[in-house]
Amino acid sequence: MMTLPAVEVLRPGSVAEAVELLRDKPGARVLAGGTDIVPNLKYGMYETQHLVALRGLSKELRYVREEDDFVKLGALCSIDQLSREASMLPALADACAQIAGPQLRRMGTLGGNLCLDTRCVYINQTYFWRSALGFCLKKDGTLCHVVKGGKRCVAAASNDTAPVLLALGASVRLVSPRGERILPLRDFYLQDGVHNTVLQSDELLVEVRVPVRARSLKQAFGKLRMRAAIDFPALNLAVALEVAQGAVKSVALCVSAIAARPALIRGLEDLAGRPADARVAEELARRAQKQCKPLTNIGVDPEWRREVLPVLVRRTVSRALQD
Amino acid sequence: MSVGKRFPKVDGASKADGSGIYADDISLPRMLHAKILRSPHANARIRRIDPSPALQVPGVVATLIGAEMPEKYGVIPWTHDEQALATDHVRFVGDEVACVAALDERTAEEALKLIEVEYEVLPAILTPEDALAHPEIKVNERAKVGNITKQVQLEFGPVDEALASAATIARQTYFYAGSTHTPIEPHCAVARVDADGNLTVWSSTQIPHYLQRELSRVLGLPQAKVRVIQPLLGGAFGGKSDPFSLEFCVAKLALKTGRPVKILFTREEVFYAHRGRHPMKMDVTVALDREGRISAVDNKILIDGGAYASFGLVTAYYAGQLLTGPYRFGTYRFDSKRMYTNKPPCGPKRGHGSVQPRFAFEVALDEAAEKLGIDPIEVRRRNFIGEFVETVNGQKITSNGFLKCLELVEEASGWRTRHGKLGPGRGLGVAGSMYITGTAYPVYPNEMPQSGVLVKLDRSGRVAIFSGASDIGQGVNTLLCQIAAEELGCDPRDVTIVAADTDLTPVDLGAYSSRVTFMVGLAAREACLKLAEKLRVAGGANFTEACQRAEAIEGAPLAAAGGYRTQKLGGDYRGGTIGASPAYSFTAHVAEVEVDEETGIWKVSKIWAAHDCGKALNPTLVEGQIEGSVYMGAAEAQMEEMVYDQRGLLFGPSLLDYRIPTSLDTPDLESFIVESNDPGGPYGAKEAGEGPLHPAIPAIANALHDACGIRIRELPFYPQRILKLLRERRDKERAA
Ligand SMILES: Cc1cc2nc3c(=O)[nH]c(=O)nc-3n(C[C@H](O)[C@H](O)[C@H](O)COP(=O)(O)OP(=O)(O)OC[C@H]3O[C@@H](n4cnc5c(N)ncnc54)[C@H](O)[C@@H]3O)c2cc1C
Ligand code: SF4
């Protein structure tokens, strides 16, 4: 069997206690559902000696409620729970229903999904395998197997809730021993596969806030994967459109599973005023394809992903417009 | 009467509720855990190896290197070309180099990193073409010529003449990617040496007898001092029918330390142990005469074998020898070459050796028939070889229910009204196949029975059956209960099975070549019939009383033995016996597919599978085998492939990167049992474990043609490949 490195699991009972532990135990990492961090630990991707387990914070951080013009989602909501309880944000519920498989959805959390480590076929492998290949930039090495000569890791953001929450204009509440901050999600992610968020080592993501107006947006989530379950996205995307009298008022489109940062497609302002129809879907597809370059970081033919991307965008936008 | 009835698997409940004991559930006092160090290079000389630093780690008890048991082994006696741990040459990334036993797995794993190995890295041979082009780079020293494990060239009848006068010819190159078994249970072995020096190895093996022989040879112990026990097995599919490094390592370490030792492979290690489907490149020619009869088949097969032979000698034969039914071939020629390459060794995966050529042939047959305007089912019917006939290569076919199979799937799929008429993106395809029911000969020549069964009756009315056969999920233990109930009149639930324990049970050669139901079934029946006669003479109001009376008459415990003796079979030429089987099973499938022409994404919506198993001794088990086989075949068509990088590193050795279909990706399956009642089989039975896999892949390929006019000749049928073929088709249409 694959063995887990020796780690001590700490079990705080509150957010305040948790962030203090993170501060006091250098290198400590957060353990929520563990569906991402545990396999990565077995792969020898982290040097951690301590895990700060969040189970004791369930009462505090597991809720879905509407308050102050926001839909607020606690970081410890399980993915399975959101697939059922987030029905006021249909694209989010749909994305959650398509994550992994039933057991993993029950263990996995929203916070864990948003803070999911980036993925790459050359890094999510055993220590032996990586040693045979040659270690890379993300851990233990100096080169990149995806971008030859590359100096920056381009491991892919592979979380399915991220593009949806980005398209819906969500923000996140982060707590550290120094206090809390609220950040638009679009400022949360970085273009660096080694560590793709602005999260500090002693900071906890405790809540996601989606403006209530998002409930009335025409929205849809689209995912490309090789199997109908279990698989991480080979591409994922979300679209949210404000439509009035048959015309587009505003549109947000986010495409991910490409590089370290989910990509909000730029320059869509001029689409305002266009009829919300098949042609706008085509146009969004065209622009998304231009701005996204699938790489070999995901083990699915990048050429084919590039070809399928506009089809997926077009179909997802059409689905959003139909509902 | 019990045979022919639905009866739940005797070990089913214990597998479902977790109480069953698998190899990894065995834990003995003072047991050590061991881990194996593997080569990071595809081809290298070992210049120096020093395991001593690992011994310094607290908790490490012993280390092991190749020099401590250098004897070569292999499942086939003519190709002993593996070592448990390499002494001087590693041949693929993942090849075993050294081993550490410690108090726990983590300590052993950490200690492995301290073992010092100096390699001289050599150029690696990663394709069979390279293996041919570079005979000077020897992958495996056992190859007599270059890197060839085995070459077989056989011709039956004047092929060239037949080709010259053919009405139509389909000639294409096909490529079958390698795939692997992915049993849910990774390989696991536990060894213990008792105070008298007797070695016991519990292993997740499907060949306890061959393993016992190899352990004895490599360790230098008399065979009588080596006991192999196969506990409950979590799937095998051919992936556990070789002796593996872990079995030798635990045994040697147990001998060395005097303590029990366990090794449980990780999923990654299962990928390196492999022995799965061989990649094959096949240049196939199929010629039809004006009536659509197959006048010639010519197949040039290049087989990518990996670093060791495994069953490769047989693979090279099976690739050609098993194609000659259910259709009559006017003439036939094949030239098959299995090459050594610096990759994990291939071996027998369900449908050993013949799934790949079957794919190529059945697609080629469709193509040829299309040129003559003959319906795909019609061309198969027209070429039916018949019952009790000899094939062009001298195999004796007995019962043959293929026509019935075709008829059933034709009916059920609505073929006549739906083939060619489902509209764009949807289509139907058909394929047929034949497979062996055991091979006539054991892997080592001997005159002893291939299978033995002992049956003992107790005065309590309990029946005990001692059988060497491996139940790998196919259900042989259940069948033994049913056969006892059938012949003795006992309750099948009052039967104790003692199985696959080389000290306690008579020899059975193993669960391979679909031989078990046939051979073990006959042996069990023979033993039971002997006892049934004694019970009949004794009389009595019920089974228990009959046992008591019979025992009184006998004046000794009641027991009897039965055996399966090998018949003389096969063509009168070198290699003619390989592929010779006492009976052949037959299958036909129709597959229905849907293709999204914009993305190339497609799915199999349904497969209708009809299989002639001779007689279904337990229809539930037969249906299970048909469904499992069809699933596995469809999986290979859809997505399974062992992919390597340019240095021979297996890409993503995990179940996330090596994708197998989930329940949601599995087509709707409908299976039909055809009973041709074979005169040689137990109660008329043949096999059902491997045959039903074969037609799935070509049926799907042919359905893709019906759906969107493309001919896909390379597995797996990735959406990007479909999309490319669609584009080529459109370009051609535009040009026309
Ligand atoms: C086979 C398999 C398939 C999968 N398929 C998908 C898929 O299709 N789509 C998908 O999106 N995901 C997938 N996942 C990933 C994962 O299961 C989910 O993303 C899940 O939601 C992660 O949540 P978790 O609570 O288990 O995270 P954990 O593993 O506990 O944590 C993940 C990371 O986030 C950090 N973290 C967790 N919570 C917080 C917090 N509140 N504040 C700060 N940091 C935090 C952890 O330190 C860790 O680095 C899959 C995983 C597996 C094993
Ligand atoms: S993108 Fe490059 S650096 Fe990052 S994980 Fe993959 S191979 Fe390593």
Residues B395 and B512 in one domain: no
Residues B475 and B559 in one domain: yes
CB B266 to CB A226 under 8 A? no
CB A229 to CB B106 under 8 A? no
- Tell me how far the alpha carbon of residue B447 lies from the centroid of ligand 2, in angstroms: 59
Q: Nearest by CB to B649, from A1, A6, A133: name it.
A: A133
CB of A157 closer than 6 angstroms to any ligand 2 atom: no
Minimum distance, in Å, between the CA of residue A132 and any CA atom of chain B: 4
| Max Cα–Cα distance, chain A, nearest Å | 61
- The nearest alpha carbon in chain B to A101 belongs to B662
CB A228 to CB B664 under 8 A? yes
CB B659 to CB A5 under 8 A? no
- Complete edge-to-edge strand list for the sheet that includes strand B558-564: B495-499, B463-467, B451-457, B558-564
B516 in a structural domain: yes
Asked whether the CA dihedral A109, A110, A115, A116 is positive or negative, the reply is positive
Residues of chain A with CATH 3.30.465.10: 58-213
What's at B114, amino acid-wise?
L
B382 in a structural domain: yes
Residues B582 and B705 in one domain: yes
CB A129 to CB B639 under 8 A? no
Counting residues of chain B whose pLDDT is more than 70, the rounded percentage is: 100
- Tell me how far the alpha carbon of residue A159 lies from the centroid of ligand 1, in angstroms: 8
Look at chain B and count its residues: 736
Minimum distance, in Å, between the CA of residue B652 and any CA atom of chain A: 7
A136, A195, A258: which to mutate for ligand 2, most atoms within 8 A of CB?
A: A136
Atom of ligand 2 nearest to the CA of A295: 1
- The nearest alpha carbon in chain A to B598 belongs to A311
pLDDT value, residue A1 = 83
Q: Is the pLDDT of residue A323 over 80?
A: no
Measured CA angle at A30 (ends A24, A34), to 5 deg:
150
Atom of ligand 1 nearest to the CA of A161: 11
Residue B515 three-state SS: coil
Mention every residue, 6+ apart, whose C-beta is less than 8 A from residue B87.
Answer: B46, B65, B66, B67, B70
CATH of the domain at B229: 3.90.1170.50
CB of A156 closer than 6 angstroms to any ligand 2 atom: no
Domain extent, residue B510, equals 448-564
Residues B600 and B703 in one domain: yes
- Integer-rounded Cα radius of gyration of chain A: 19
CB A304 to CB B656 under 8 A? no
Residue located nearest, by CA, to atom 43 of ligand 1: A204
The count of CB pairs under 8 A between chains A and B is 77
Minimum distance, in Å, between the CA of residue B93 and any CA atom of chain A: 8
Contact B578, B643 (CB under 8 A): no
Going by the DSSP 8-state scheme, the letter that residue A115 receives in this structure is T
Nearest ligand to the C-alpha atom of residue A130: 2
B590 in a structural domain: yes
**Pairwise CA distance, residues B734 & B723, whole Å:** 16
CB A227 to CB B662 under 8 A? yes
CB of A193 closer than 6 angstroms to any ligand 2 atom: yes
CB of A27 closer than 6 angstroms to any ligand 1 atom: no
Residues B193 and B309 in one domain: no
Residue A272, chain B, CB below 8 Å: the answer is no
Atom of ligand 1 nearest to the CA of A199: 43
Residues of chain A with CATH 3.30.390.50: 217-322
B609 in a structural domain: yes
Residue B705 three-state SS: helix
Residues B206 and B224 in one domain: yes
Residues B489 and B407 in one domain: no
Q: Is the pLDDT of residue A190 over 80?
A: yes
Look-up of token digits 């097969």: B301
Structure tokens of B430?
A: 């058909």
In order of A72, A80, A266, B196, the CA distances from A161 in angstroms are 14, 12, 20, 63
Which residues of chain B are at the A interface, by a Cβ-Cβ cutoff of 8 Å?
Answer: 38, 40-41, 93, 105-106, 109, 186, 264, 266-268, 598-600, 639, 645, 647, 649, 651-654, 656-657, 659, 661-665, 718-720, 723
Residue located nearest, by CA, to atom 38 of ligand 1: A112
- The nearest alpha carbon in chain A to B35 belongs to A1
Torsion of CA B651, B652, B656, B657, to 10 degrees: -20
CATH of the domain at B388: 3.30.365.10
**Pairwise CA distance, residues B384 & B406, whole Å:** 10
Atom of ligand 2 nearest to the CA of A145: 7
Q: Kindly state the average pLDDT of the residues A84-109.
A: 98
CB A128 to CB B718 under 8 A? no
Residues B516 and B548 in one domain: yes
Give strand ranges (E) for chain A. 8-10, 29-31, 50-53, 64-67, 70-74, 171-176, 179-184, 204-211, 218-224, 235-244, 247-256, 263-264
Asked whether the CA dihedral B486, B490, B494, B499 is positive or negative, the reply is negative
B10 in a structural domain: no
Helix ranges (H only) for B691-718 are: 696-708
Interface predicted TM-score of the whole assembly (ipTM), two decimals: 0.96
CB B268 to CB A124 under 8 A? no
Instruction: Give A 85-144 residues with CB within 8 A of chain B.
Output: 101, 121, 124-126, 128-129, 131-133
pLDDT value, residue B246 = 98
Q: Which long-range contacts (CB under 8 A, 24 or more apart) does A37-40 make?
A: A37/A112, A37/A117, A38/A4, A39/A124, A40/A117, A40/A124
CB B266 to CB A124 under 8 A? no
Residues B396 and B418 in one domain: yes
Q: Please report, for chain A, how many H helices and E strands are present, in that order.
A: 11, 12
Fold of A217-322: Enolase-like; domain 1 (3.30.390)
**Pairwise CA distance, residues B404 & B614, whole Å:** 12
Contact A234, A92 (CB under 8 A): no
In order of B26, B101, B213, B474, B516, the CA distances from B195 in angstroms are 20, 20, 22, 37, 35
- Tell me how far the alpha carbon of residue B126 lies from the centroid of ligand 2, in angstroms: 25
Backbone torsions φ then ψ of B554, nearest 5 degrees: -65, -35
Counting residues of chain A whose pLDDT is more than 90, the rounded percentage is: 99
CB of A31 closer than 6 angstroms to any ligand 1 atom: yes
Contacts of A312 in chain B (CB under 8 A): 599
Contact B348, B691 (CB under 8 A): no
- Tell me how far the alpha carbon of residue A164 lies from the centroid of ligand 1, in angstroms: 16
Nearest of B269, B225, B230, B210 to residue B80 by alpha carbon: B210
Domain A58-213 has CATH 3.30.465.10: yes
Residue B386 three-state SS: coil
**pTM for this predicted structure:** 0.97
What's at B98, amino acid-wise?
A
Residue where a domain stops, chosen among B537, B564, B591: B564
CB A125 to CB B652 under 8 A? yes
Residue A143 three-state SS: strand
CB of A137 closer than 6 angstroms to any ligand 2 atom: yes
Contacts of B647 in chain A (CB under 8 A): 133
Low-confidence ranges of chain B (pLDDT < 70): 1
Nearest of B96, B237, B241 to residue B180 by alpha carbon: B237
* Pairing of the two strands B148-156 and B332-339: antiparallel
Minimum distance, in Å, between the CA of residue A322 and any CA atom of chain B: 20
B62 in a structural domain: yes
- Tell me how far the alpha carbon of residue A148 lies from the centroid of ligand 1, in angstroms: 29
CB of A205 closer than 6 angstroms to any ligand 1 atom: yes
A23, A25, A63, A113: which to mutate for ligand 1, most atoms within 8 A of CB?
A: A113
Residue B646 exposed, middle or buried by CB count within 10 Å (0-12, 13-18, 19+):
exposed
Nearest ligand to the C-alpha atom of residue A164: 1
CB of A39 closer than 6 angstroms to any ligand 1 atom: yes
Residue where a domain stops, chosen among B564, B593, B615: B564
* CB burial string B622-635: b at 16+ within 10 A, e below: bbbbbbbbbbbbbb
Rounded to the nearest 10 degrees, the angle between the axes of helix B719-735 and helix B696-708 is 40
pLDDT classification of A125: cutoffs 50, 70, 90? very high
**Pairwise CA distance, residues B147 & B476, whole Å:** 39
Minimum distance, in Å, between the CA of residue A1 and any CA atom of chain B: 5
Atom of ligand 2 nearest to the CA of A154: 1
Structure tokens of B417?
A: 């009204």
- Tell me how far the alpha carbon of residue A117 lies from the centroid of ligand 1, in angstroms: 8
**Pairwise CA distance, residues B102 & B63, whole Å:** 9
Structure tokens of B195?
A: 């105070």
Residue located nearest, by CA, to atom 48 of ligand 1: A37
Nearest of B712, B396, B435, B421 to residue B588 by alpha carbon: B435
**Pairwise CA distance, residues B304 & B636, whole Å:** 17
Give the number of other Cβ atoms within 10 Å of residue B414's Cβ: 15
* Pairing of the two strands B584-595 and B602-612: antiparallel
Residues B490 and B412 in one domain: no
In order of A220, B215, B422, B565, the CA distances from A45 in angstroms are 34, 38, 51, 57
Mention every residue, 6+ apart, whose C-beta is less than 8 A from residue B682.
Answer: B483, B517, B518, B521, B522, B524, B525, B617
B4 in a structural domain: no
Please give the tally of structural domains in chain B: 3
